[in-house]
Structure formats: structure tokens, C-alpha cells
Chains A and B, each alone.
Chain A
Amino acid sequence: MSVDTQLPPSDDDLLDRQIDAGRMQAAGQWVLIWHKFRKHKLALVSLFVVGLIYLVALFAEFLAPADPGKFDPRYTFAPPQSIGLFADDRQGGQSFQPHVTGYKITLDVKSFRRVFVPDPDVIVPIGFFVQGQPYKMWGLFPSNLHFIGPLDQSQPFFLIGADRLGRDLLSRTIHGTRISMSIGLVGVGLSLLIGMTLGGISGYYGGMVDRAIQRVIEFIRSVPTIPLWLGLAAAMPKDWPPLQIYFAILIILSLIGWTEIARVVRGRFLSLRSDDFVIAARLDGVSEFRLIMRHMMPSLYSHIIAAITLAIPNMILAESSLSFLGLGLQPPIVSWGVLLQDTQNLRAITQAPWLFVPGICIVIAVLSLNFLGDGVRDAADPYAK
């Protein structure tokens, strides 16, 4: 139901469309998908957002103003600072000097809390590409360049506030992005491996094998996942190093998460198996391996990409739930779920509502991945209207 059906198209339009049609007839699968995908505006925006989030994850060390573990008890629950562009200079006029406002810290005698009041007289000059705490980019290249930060490292710089130990929430959220998003990606990679293998076998061979695998899938889908994940996670020895726990969680998540991908792959294999071009290839004596890899796989790629995009948000949600409950990733590793553990304390969130920021990140990431997945799925189906 586009507008074109109501308005008579002009000659130019017609000509354009003919050229377009000519190009489309010769276009490959991916060009067609991209062409269709582009019409889905929401998915296009989501693609941009998802790309941005993964860029943040990739360059976490550089983008974070401080080390995620750097703490300063003086700044417990320090509120977010506002950015100003102009500051008073010594001559009494205004000059361009990006800065954040400093704090005046007083102690509330009644509740023994620190009270932070923005002090307009104290300014903390900030800048881009500043020298700050040293780090190793991807654990390889030593550097101390930060995208944004205070010019003087001893000054407080909390763009979205600080947590219970006076750690910079922005830096922690940026580092959490890397862990949460990579769990999604790698976890889905593992699920894909299991799902493709079992789903492929199930759909290609059919019969008894198919029925057995289908029962297993049905069974896994009918078990409440969180108690099961927790049961598996609880069995992990508590003295494992964080990295080992990270991989263990990955494996636990994908052991249960592969069923949806297997279902999609099986469905496609089943319908492809009796397609003319597959039968033709088989009659020509093509080997089974080549038949699957060369002839059947290409018509599966787009569906698999859609299934992956829709599976990543589930992984992210699952990881954050596990970590939130304290049976997932353990500090010092920071993920969005680990950061949200702090919100379990009602007193902490009434004092510092900015602790919810990692939660907003989860919602944005999951939302845009869902839109992206929907867009890809619609674009990948050549028979859709």
C-alpha cells in the first residue's frame, strides 16, 4: 500500500523505476537484502546504534576517563557533574574553557552522609585526548591517552556520578559494555555452533534422529531457564579466576540458548531438502559435504544472521540477570549486570539514582538489537510482501 498506487507516476519516475528494475534483476542476494533493509528506517537507526555500542565496547580503555577499579572514598555517591564551556579567567572576563563544576563536600551530622553541593567557584578544567591513567589497549599496547578527562588527574570527574566506593560510573559502564556485549556475541557464536550442527543434522537427515533432537529441544524450552542456569552456575568453584568464570558462564548460557537457532536451521533444511536445485545437485552426484556447504548454506545465511541478531539480546538479558543475582560474573569483572547489583540496596538508589544508568544501557542495547533483528528477518525473506 504505497503512495504510488494512488498518484499517477511521472515519466521521470517511470524511467527511474525501469533503470532500478533493470539493476535489481541483475543484483545479487546481498544487494537485494540491503535494498529492502534500507527501507526499514527503524532498523537502519538501530544498526547505527548497535554499531556505536560495539565501537564503545571495542575502544573501552580509550573512551573511559578512568580505570574502572580506581576508587576514592572521598567521593562516595558523588552526583553527576554538569559540563560548562566558558569560565571566568584571571582578567575578570569569560574565556573558552571546557570544565565541570567541582563539589563542596559537607557532612550531614544526622545521617552521617556526605552531602555534595556543586560549587560554581571551583572548576575542573577538562579536555579531549588528555594524558591520564596508564592502561594497556586490548591488554597489548601501553598508553595513557583518554578520549575525555580532567586536565589534572587529582580532580574529581564524574559525568554520570560515582558509586559506593567513589568509582567513576561512566568508566565502569563503558568497560561493562565490553563484557556484556561480548558475552552476547561470543555466547551466540557458541550457540550457533551447537544449534547449526544439531539443527542441520535434524533437518537434513530427518526420521529418528530428527525426532530425538526435537524432543530434546522441546524439553529444554519447557524448563524454566533461570533456575537451571543458576543451578549450573552455583556448581562453579568460587575460587576460579574471573576469566575462567567468564567462559564458564558463556558455556552455561549457550548450552541452553542454542534451541532457537537449531529450530530455524532445521526448518530451512527441511524445506530446502526437497527443493529442485538441491535434488538436481544430488542427482548430479555432488558429495554430501559439498551439497550442504555449497548449495544449501548460501540460502541459509540471511536467516541465520536474523536468528543471531535476535538471540544476542536474550543472551545479554540472561547474563545481566545471573550477574545481578550474584551467581554470574564476579567482580573485578564489570558487566552491566554486575553494576546493577548495587541497585539491590534501596538506600543506595534513593541516595544515588544514577546507579540505574547501566540498566538504561541494557534497555537501549536490547531494544536496538531487537529492531535490527526484525529488520534483517523481514529483509532476508524474498517472498515477503
Chain B
Amino acid sequence: MLIYILKRMLGMIPAMIAISILAFTVIQLPPGDYVSTYAAQLAQSGETVDSDMLNSLRDRYGLGENVVVQYFKWIGGVVQGDFGQSFEWNQPVTELVWGRMAMTALISFVTLIVMWSFSLPIGVYSAVRQYSAVDYIATAFAFLAMATPNFLLAILLLYVSTMWFGVSVGGLFSPEFVNAGFSLAKVWDFITHAWIPVFVLGTAGTASLIRIMRANLLDELHKPYVEAARSKGMPETRLILTYPVRVALNPFISTVGWVLPALISGELIVSTVLNLPTAGPLLLQALKSQDMYLAGAFILLNGGLVLIGTLISDILLAISDPRIRLS
């Protein structure tokens, strides 16, 4: 098992390098370099431009040298925890990203758990009672949810809660808790706020997971081993949960590989609409103002989050399926 995990982690290295190159490409795309932009900004706001400082910045990022050198200077910093300078916020990127990324990771993780805990029982039920009322409702819901862009769902929810309940939803904490330390009251406050983004983010994913679980289980239900267990008089509920569901679970677990990227993509839009303190709005703002080191750091970390998620799902898969563990 340990060897399997080690192997998987080694396999992550090329992917990590590829993501870093991608993030660096995004950093490089806008025309002009940041130091010149920064200098122009300073000059515009009437501050004195310190040419020594600009030169040291140029040297720091290897500007003016070839792209490969720039890449290595940047990635060298990243490995030591230095993501460069945010020119818009006039702060090191590191100070800006971690808190936001933690929130993104938390929201994504909670949403994933919620998605699984809803789609698993509904998917199993719809497969076992195929063409029942519940099955039809679940199927209709799934198609509708997959066709609704999640930003639309977020706005609709905002609209409904403002018009009908007179409360505005948004943010992740009430004002009095934003800077408060950790306490049970704060956790509860988080839950009362977080269900909205979790609901919006989870809907489409839950829908497709229900479809996947239903299809997987339907494939298994009519296999001979199920008939054999049934003919031996095994109670139906136990039979289904012990054998076919366990087999059908495998593709279900490995969906993390594409559910997680979709979650992070969706999170960006939903957080922007609901104004959450996660990575999304800051990344969007950074891209719009071409604050590229900040944007690059987010793209890199988002990729890293997906890799970690995929690793966890692979480990879960190895635990649930001996064939993967032992090969």
C-alpha cells in the first residue's frame, strides 16, 4: 500500500511541472513586463520612482533575460514559498493567496462530501427501482441541473432570498465573525452561510454523479452473481449493498479526477457572484488588472489542489479495490 502511494506521488511530479509551465505561460502572456507597468503606475500616482529598486526587481524576476531563465527564477522562488509580488496590492503574493486558497479548498471539500452523500443513495435507489417515480424525478432533476449554468443558479438564489425572505445572502461569515478567532459559534455561522455556495456548486455535480451511479449499478444488477446470491436467500437490501454497490462504487470514486476541476472552475464563478472570500474573486480581479504573479500563483495552486484531490481519490480507490492495490 505504501509503495503504491509512493509510486502515485512520484507520478505527480511531471504533472506538477506541466502545471507550473502552464501557470508561467499565463504570467507571460500579457504584453509588456510588470516592472515597467509598476514604474508607470508609480509615476502616475505621483510617487518618486526609485530606479535602484526597479533594477533589483528586474534582477529578481530575470526580466530582459530569456524565458527559460525567467521560468527558473520564478519556480525557484515558488519552491521556497515566494510567489513574487502583487503589483496591485503592493504585497507579496504569498500573504494574499494562502488564506483564500484555504477557503477554496474547504468549500470544494465540503461540496464534494455533500455531493457524494446525496448522489450515492439517490443513485442506488434510482437504479434498484428503475422507472419508479423517484427514478423519473431524479432523472429530470439531473438533466435540468446539468443544463443550468451555476452562475445563473447563484443569482436566482440571491434573487429569491432577497425577494421572498428579505435577507441578502453572500459572504461566508457574518460581519462580527470575520476577524474572530476559532469558536463553535463561528463554525455555526460558517455553516449558515456556506450552505448556499455548497448548494449552488454541488447541484450540477450531484446530478451527474447520480447518473453515473445509476448507470454503473444498472450494469451490475443483472449479473449472475447477484442472481446466485438472491437464489440462496440473501436479504435483498444486504445483497445489493454488499455486492453490486461495492463494484459500482469504483468508477464513482475515480470521478474525483474530473469533479474537482469542475468544482474549482465553478467555485470561481459562484464566489464572484456571492462575493465569497475565496480564491475566485481575487483571481478574476488579478486577471482583469493583469496582476500576473498573483494570477499565476492561483492557477498553480488550483492545479496543485486538483492533483492532491486526485491522489486522495486514488488512495481511496486502492483501499476499496484490492485489484488496484496489488497490481
Contacts and interface: CB of A to CB of B under 8 A. Distances in A.
Nearest to B309: A222
Interface in A213-231: 219, 221-228, 230-231
B149 A325 contact: no
Contacts of A206: none
Given A227-B302, A321-B269, A356 B261 contact: no
B268 A222 contact: no
Contacts of A173: none
A359 B149 contact: yes
Contact of B155 (A231, A317, A343, A362): A343
A327 interface: yes
A356 B284 CA distance: 23
Interface stretch (A74-82, A122-130, A137-145, A344-352): A344-352
Interface string A226-264: 111011111101000000000000000000000000000
Given A225-B265, A231-B29, A234-B295, A313 B159 contact: no
Contacts of A349: 155, 159
B257 interface: yes
Contacts of B310: 222
B123 interface: no
Interface in A162-220: 219
Contacts of B224: none
A321 B18 CA distance: 26
Contacts of A101: none
B15 to A, nearest CB: 6
Interface string B134-145: 000000000110
Contacts of A37: none
A225 B22 CA distance: 12
Interface in B162-183: 162-163, 168
A219 B20 CA distance: 12
B257 A222 contact: yes
B265 A367 contact: no
B263 to A, nearest CB: 8
Nearest to A347: B162
Contacts of A224: 261-262, 264-265, 268, 302-303, 306
Contacts of B159: 346, 349-350, 353, 356
A221 B155 contact: no
Interface string B143-160: 110111101100110110
Given A227-B264, A230-B283, A222 B299 contact: no
B107 interface: no
B149 A228 contact: no
B288 A344 contact: no
A168 to B, nearest CB: 22
A356 B156 contact: yes
B206 interface: no
A224 B299 CA distance: 8
A371 interface: yes
Contacts of A228: 22, 26, 299
Given A223-B303, A227-B283, A367 B147 contact: yes
A226 B268 contact: yes
Scoring B19, B29, B287, B295 by chain A CB atoms within 10 A of each residue's CB, the highest score goes to B287
A234 B163 CA distance: 35
A221 B168 CA distance: 36
Q: How large is the interface on B (under 10, 10 to 19, 20 to 34, 35 or more residues)?
A: 35 or more
Main secondary structure of the interface of B (DSSP, over half): helix
Contacts of B287: 230-231, 233-234, 327
Interface in B242-294: 257-258, 261-262, 264-266, 268-269, 272-273, 283-284, 287-288, 290
Contacts of A363: 144, 147-148, 152
Interface string A362-376: 110011001100000
B235 interface: no
A344 B151 CA distance: 9
A344 B290 contact: no
Interface in B160-211: 162-163, 168
Given A224-B303, A344-B273, A367 B143 contact: yes
B76 interface: no
B152 A344 contact: no
Scoring A223, A340, A363 by chain B CB atoms within 10 A of each residue's CB, the highest score goes to A223
B306 A222 contact: yes
A359 B283 contact: no
B261 A222 contact: yes
A234 B30 contact: yes
B91 to A, nearest CB: 20
Given A223-B303, A370-B146, A325 B272 contact: yes
A237 B31 CA distance: 8
B212 interface: no
Contacts of B83: none
A170 B84 CA distance: 48
A234 B25 CA distance: 12
B265 to A, nearest CB: 4
Nearest to A230: B287
B87 interface: no
Given A222-B307, A224-B261, A231-B26, A324 B302 contact: no
B302 A326 contact: no
B149 A320 contact: yes
Contacts of B30: 234-235
Given A343-B152, A349-B155, 16 more contacts: A222-B258, A222-B306, A223-B19, A223-B303, A225-B265, A227-B302, A231-B29, A231-B287, A235-B26, A237-B31, A327-B288, A344-B155, A350-B159, A356-B152, A356-B155, A359-B155
19 contacts: A219-B15, A222-B261, A224-B261, A225-B265, A228-B299, A230-B287, A231-B299, A232-B29, A235-B30, A325-B284, A327-B287, A343-B155, A346-B162, A350-B162, A353-B159, A359-B152, A362-B149, A363-B152, A367-B147
Q: Which 7 A-B pairs have the closest CB atoms?
A: A235-B29, A226-B265, A231-B26, A234-B287, A366-B147, A224-B264, A367-B147
